[in-house]
């Protein structure tokens, strides 16, 4: 085929269509897309001798499609109808309106991140969250870092590098995404000293290990699993006392780190941050985006002298929290201080939603869709907290021919809807869907359901 009939890059660039593309995507990228479009036209032309050469319109619309795919964002908001409240793959905790506004305020312009307004001199970014955390937890000092994995690593690097750290074999956990406590300990240069067995550890096991010079005893919350049956672990306060008798630091990696009692909502008791401090932990680490319901962050609280050493360690700078995180975190912490956490923080609203409210929403969804059954089911908290625990809920259940392909269709929507299947039905749980998303959810769900049913009945 004669490829000379193809227009040149210059000719295409001079069209009105190209001008529009340049206005949206800029000249260099548009040029690149036009070249790619022409290249593939040539490649097709060489192979298929008979076919017709594409016209300008076709070439430019191919370029437009390339531009669209090159510049489309990959990080998208989704509607979480899975019923897992702290879904790590879906970004864990949605933020409160105030937290979002606080981020917006500091993102928009400059802030006093490290500037003392009183003196006009350099200040410290550490102060923004510290007094709130002290007030809320009773700890002497606090530090916010990138995430809890960084918090644990920093504590060990600053206080236990090349020294012995005692940990129970019942707590050598893998959190998910490859975060394994023993690996983090090794990474820090600490010498891991395992005591006890998989199911049982006694105070005497710790006592024996403490006869040799040791920097730290660490307690790690099981987070995502439960050991049942013939098990034993001493109380936190007993381990703390024992460590202190030997002059050894006692650190508690709490993981989810709730500030409020989960049993109020019909869940099992999740250890609180305040309890760890009361039990005598010198340091407590927890995440910002698990049961705290804030942004991704790692929070370290504890004794002032130890916190001083941690803050001075060079790794602290490498894993420090940025202004957006600090804005959202401090706004979230203020909700606790003002005793409005359950009302204002989305994850607590989800946890505290009543079955009556949830049933009403599921019924509304079913009525608006004119499809599906409303069924009792279970939501989970997730995020490495409260393993095996669930919250009673009501879901919309859709009986479709091929649930997996239906789930896929839901994921391809804008915004994607994430649901789950159970007994060959697609379930959508209102607990994790923000109320303001209801309308979008119903409209998009209904359109998928219509096209899906038609196709499968045909």
Ligand X SMILES: *Cc1c(COP(=O)(O)O)cnc(C)c1O
Find the shortest distance in angstroms from Cβ 146 to ligand X.
Answer: 8
Query: How many other CB atoms are there within 10 angstroms of residue 306's CB atom?
Result: 20
Residues 273-332 that bind ligand X (CB under 6 A): 287, 298
Alpha-helical (H) ranges within 109-147 are 127-137
Triad 91, 329, 273: Cα angle to 5°: 90
Triad 15, 21, 24: Cα angle to 5°: 145
Report the residue from 30, 33, 37, 147 that binds ligand X according to the rule CB under 6 A.
Answer: 147
For residue 179, state whether it binds ligand X (rule: CB under 6 A): yes
Alpha-helical (H) ranges within 48-112 are 56-71, 97-108
- Output 81 or 254, the one with its CB closest to ligand X: 254
Mutual orientation of helices 323-337 and 127-137 as an angle, nearest 10°? 30
Report the residue from 31, 149, 242, 327 that binds ligand X according to the rule CB under 6 A.
Answer: 149
Distance between CA atoms of residues 393 and 265, nearest Å: 13
- Output 351 or 374, the one with its CB closest to ligand X: 351
Find the shortest distance in angstroms from Cβ 416 to ligand X.
Answer: 23
Alpha-helical (H) ranges within 48-83 are 56-71
- Output 45 or 257, the one with its CB closest to ligand X: 257
Find the shortest distance in angstroms from Cβ 318 to ligand X.
Answer: 15
Mutual orientation of helices 438-457 and 403-411 as an angle, nearest 10°? 130
Triad 387, 391, 393: Cα angle to 5°: 145
Find the shortest distance in angstroms from Cβ 256 to ligand X.
Answer: 6
Find the shortest distance in angstroms from Cβ 458 to ligand X.
Answer: 47
Find the shortest distance in angstroms from Cβ 288 to ligand X.
Answer: 7
| Structure tokens belonging to residue 333 | 């912490």
Binding mask 38-67 for ligand X (x = CB under 6 A): ------------------------------
Instruction: Map tokens 């800029």 to a residue.
Output: 26
Distance of CA 121 to the CA centre of its chain: 36
CA nearest neighbour of 245 among 219, 210, 274, 275: 210
Report the residue from 156, 165, 175, 210 that binds ligand X according to the rule CB under 6 A.
Answer: 175
Query: How many other CB atoms are there within 10 angstroms of residue 197's CB atom?
Result: 14
Mutual orientation of helices 16-25 and 56-71 as an angle, nearest 10°? 10
With contacts defined by CB under 6 A, how many residues of the chain interact with ligand X?
Answer: 15
- Output 221 or 335, the one with its CB closest to ligand X: 221
Residues 338-397 that bind ligand X (CB under 6 A): 384
Report the residue from 130, 205, 253, 344 that binds ligand X according to the rule CB under 6 A.
Answer: 253
Distance between CA atoms of residues 200 and 131, nearest Å: 38
**CB-based closest residue to ligand X:** 255
Report the residue from 94, 234, 255, 294 that binds ligand X according to the rule CB under 6 A.
Answer: 255
Give the strand pairing for 283-287 and 298-302. antiparallel
- Output 198 or 305, the one with its CB closest to ligand X: 198
Query: How many other CB atoms are there within 10 angstroms of residue 424's CB atom?
Result: 11
Find the shortest distance in angstroms from Cβ 81 to ligand X.
Answer: 23
Find the shortest distance in angstroms from Cβ 74 to ligand X.
Answer: 21
Query: How many other CB atoms are there within 10 angstroms of residue 318's CB atom?
Result: 11
Candidates 100-108, 143-151, 229-237, 409-417; binding stretch for ligand X (CB under 6 A):
143-151
Candidates 11-19, 205-213, 215-223, 412-420; binding stretch for ligand X (CB under 6 A):
215-223
- Output 255 or 403, the one with its CB closest to ligand X: 255
| Residues lying near ligand X in the complex (CB under 6 A) | 147-149, 152, 175, 179, 220-221, 223, 253, 255-256, 287, 298, 384
């Amino acid at each position: 085929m004669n490829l000379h009939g193809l227009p040149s890059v210059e000719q295409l660039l001079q069209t009105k269509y190209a001008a529009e593309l340049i206005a949206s995507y800029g000249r260099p990228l548009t040029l690149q897309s036009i070249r790619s479009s022409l290249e593939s036209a040539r490649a097709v032309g060489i192979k298929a001798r008979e076919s017709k050469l594409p016209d300008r319109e076709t070439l430019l619309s191919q370029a437009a499609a390339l531009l669209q795919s090159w510049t489309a964002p990959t990080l998208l908001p989704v509607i979480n109808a899975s019923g897992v409240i702290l879904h790590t793959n879906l970004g864990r905790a949605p933020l409160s309106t105030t937290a979002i506004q606080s981020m917006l305020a500091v993102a928009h312009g400059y802030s006093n991140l490290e500037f003392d307004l009183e003196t006009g001199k350099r200040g410290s970014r550490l102060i923004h969250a510290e007094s709130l955390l002290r007030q809320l937890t009773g700890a002497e000092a606090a530090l916010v870092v990138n995430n809890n994995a960084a918090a644990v690593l920093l504590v060990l690097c600053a206080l236990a590098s090349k020294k012995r750290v005692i940990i129970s074999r019942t707590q050598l956990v893998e959190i998910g995404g490859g975060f394994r406590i023993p690996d983090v300990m090794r990474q820090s240069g600490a010498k891991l000293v395992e005591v006890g067995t998989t199911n049982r550890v006694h105070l005497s096991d710790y006592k024996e290990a403490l006869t040799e010079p040791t920097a730290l005893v660490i307690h790690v919350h099981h987070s995502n699993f439960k050991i049942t049956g013939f098990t034993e672990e001493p109380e936190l306060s007993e381990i703390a006392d024992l460590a202190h008798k030997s002059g050894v630091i006692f650190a508690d990696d709490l993981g989810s780190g709730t500030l409020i009692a989960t049993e109020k909502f019909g869940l099992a008791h999740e250890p609180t941050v305040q309890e760890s401090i009361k039990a005598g932990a010198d340091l407590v680490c927890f995440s910002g985006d698990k049961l705290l319901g804030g942004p991704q962050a790692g929070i370290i609280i504890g004794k002032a002298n130890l916190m001083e050493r941690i803050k001075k360690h060079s790794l602290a700078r490498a894993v420090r929290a940025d202004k957006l995180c600090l804005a959202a975190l401090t706004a979230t912490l203020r909700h606790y201080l003002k005793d409005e956490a359950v009302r204002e923080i989305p994850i607590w609203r989800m946890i505290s939603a009543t079955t009556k409210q949830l049933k009403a929403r599921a019924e509304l969804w079913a009525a608006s869709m004119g499809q599906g059954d409303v069924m009792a089911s279970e939501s989970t908290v997730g995020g490495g907290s409260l393993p095996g625990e669930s919250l009673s809920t009501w879901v919309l259940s859709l009986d479709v021919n091929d649930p997996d392909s239906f789930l896929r269709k839901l994921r391809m929507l804008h915004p994607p809807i994430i649901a789950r299947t159970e007994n060959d039905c697609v379930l959508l749980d209102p607990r994790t869907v923000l109320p303001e998303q209801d309308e979008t959810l119903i409209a998009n769900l209904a359109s998928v359901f219509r096209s899906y049913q038609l196709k499968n009945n045909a």
